[in-house]
């Protein structure tokens, strides 16, 4: 019987294969067969990144974009269909030192950057297809990594580009889609453990009241010398405008910001357009205003952080009504949650009939956290 003689590259290759660790693959890449390195690199992988609402998931995406394993690959980030979310992402990329990126819009002609920002709507997707080249069989520089931020918000839990991606990243605080429960669907699940600065549901001062929005704003005014409040209890634009104007006339020393398809400033009942492109820029513009109230609906659901550019100013109060919301949507509307350097108390105002929903939200959050940690 003739024994097979293995050279060093074969032995190290076996070690890399057995480890299943891509950090090991990168570390030992110079010592294994180039064909094996490439074959492992291009193996299909699906990764779930789960973290509580505003607990640091975007940082995980930014870290992954800079993973040396992905050098030379196009990285596509699918994000919410909102220009505010898009502009927030652009700033986060720049803050992380990532400058080689482009956003797909009506002016785009070709994919010429390593990181691509693609808003989740049909027009942008069609534009991307016109701009992109079909990847060649042997040209892995045209292969891509797909990041689906707030992944459970997509139709069928996936994006059309997922099928052709080398790796798929699903990033969400509410991994409730039935697709994700299929055995073996995810090769890896990464659960983010919030650090000590994170303020979650259990850290809020929750006041249940049926006194209405005027009483909530009065309490906000009396509660803090300097703070920001989010009102996201109203579904329709006309209702949002009416409430904003009424409150502005009543509380003339508070600056109101109306967020819908347009951004408007309301002071003392007078309405002014806002040209600032991101929430951080709006907050920075109003740095001298001691109290700011945002009135929003869709623009308070997913992906947006109500923080200044230096992260020093953030929401301190929120008024919501989850009566007609699902648990998932209610959790996603909790924009007041986040990682904050200060210990400013956070207050949530809710109608009294929301108490059972809050219990359900806390239970769902705890269960998802445990399930994701025990997934593999």
> For residue 136, is it within any domain?
yes
Span 119-173, pLDDT tens digits: 999 999 999 999 986 544 445 457 899 999 988 777 677 899 998 999 999 998 8
Beta-bridge mates of residue 317: 229, 347
**Number of folded domains in the chain?**
3
Say yes or no to pLDDT of 263 above 60.
Answer: yes
Same domain flag for 186 and 206: no
Q: How far apart are CA 91 and CA 227, in angstroms?
A: 23
Section 110-121 average pLDDT: 94
Same domain flag for 169 and 70: yes
This prediction has a pTM of: 0.87
Per the CB < 8 A criterion, the answer to whether 364 and 327 are in contact is yes
pLDDT recorded at residue 290 = 97
Same domain flag for 96 and 171: yes
Same domain flag for 74 and 179: yes
Section 354-375 average pLDDT: 79
Domain interval for residue 269? 198-366
Same domain flag for 15 and 85: no
pLDDT recorded at residue 135 = 47
Same domain flag for 154 and 164: yes
Least confident range of 37-41, 129-133, 206-210, 306-310: 37-41
Same domain flag for 48 and 133: yes
Q: What is the CATH number of the domain that holds 178?
A: 3.40.50.300
> For residue 373, is it within any domain?
no
Q: 113-131 burial by CB neighbour count: b if 16+ within 10 A, else e?
A: ebbbbbbbeeebbebbeee
Same domain flag for 245 and 173: no
> For residue 156, is it within any domain?
yes
> For residue 374, is it within any domain?
no
Q: What is the rounded end-to-end Cα distance, in angstroms, of the chain?
A: 41
Same domain flag for 351 and 208: yes
> For residue 305, is it within any domain?
yes
Closest to 42 measured CA to CA, from 147, 161, 159, 139: 139
> For residue 318, is it within any domain?
yes
């Amino acid at each position: 019987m003739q024994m097979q003689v293995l050279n060093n590259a074969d032995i190290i290759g076996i070690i890399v294969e057995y480890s299943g660790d891509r950090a090991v693959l990168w570390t030992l890449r110079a010592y294994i067969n180039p064909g094996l390195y490439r074959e492992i690199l291009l193996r299909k992988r699906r990764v779930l990144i789960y973290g509580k609402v505003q607990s640091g998931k975007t940082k995980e995406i930014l870290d992954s974009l800079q993973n040396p394993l992905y050098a030379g690959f196009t990285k596509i980030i699918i994000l919410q269909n909102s220009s505010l979310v898009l502009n927030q992402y652009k700033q986060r990329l720049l803050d992380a030192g990532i400058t080689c990126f482009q956003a797909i819009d009506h002016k785009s002609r070709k994919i010429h950057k390593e990181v691509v920002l693609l808003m989740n709507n049909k027009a942008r997707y069609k534009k991307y297809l016109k701009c992109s080249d079909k990847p060649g069989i042997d040209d892995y520089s045209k292969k891509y990594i797909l990041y689906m931020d707030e992944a459970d918000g997509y139709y069928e839990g996936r994006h059309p580009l997922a099928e052709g991606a080398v790796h798929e990243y699903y990033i969400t605080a509410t991994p409730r889609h039935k697709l994700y429960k299929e055995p073996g669907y995810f090769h890896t699940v990464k659960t983010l453990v919030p650090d000590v600065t994170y303020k979650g549901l259990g850290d809020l001062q929750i006041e249940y009241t049926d006194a209405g929005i005027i009483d909530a704003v009065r309490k906000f005014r009396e509660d803090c010398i300097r703070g920001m409040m989010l009102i996201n209890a109203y579904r329709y634009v006309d209702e949002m405008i009416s409430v904003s104007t009424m409150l502005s006339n009543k509380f003339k020393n508070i600056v109101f910001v109306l967020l819908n398809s347009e951004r408007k400033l309301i002071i003392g009942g007078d309405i002014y357009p806002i040209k600032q492109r991101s929430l951080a820029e709006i907050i920075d513009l109003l740095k001298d205003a001691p109290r700011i109230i945002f009135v929003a609906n869709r623009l308070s659901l997913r992906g947006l952080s109500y923080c200044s550019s230096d992260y020093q100013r953030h929401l301190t109060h929120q008024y919501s009504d989850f009566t007609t919301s699902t648990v998932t949507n209610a959790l996603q509307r909790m924009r007041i949650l986040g990682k904050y350097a200060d210990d400013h108390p956070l207050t949530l105002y809710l109608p009294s009939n929301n108490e059972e929903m809050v219990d359900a939200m806390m239970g769902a959050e705890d269960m998802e956290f445990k399930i994701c940690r025990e997934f593999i």
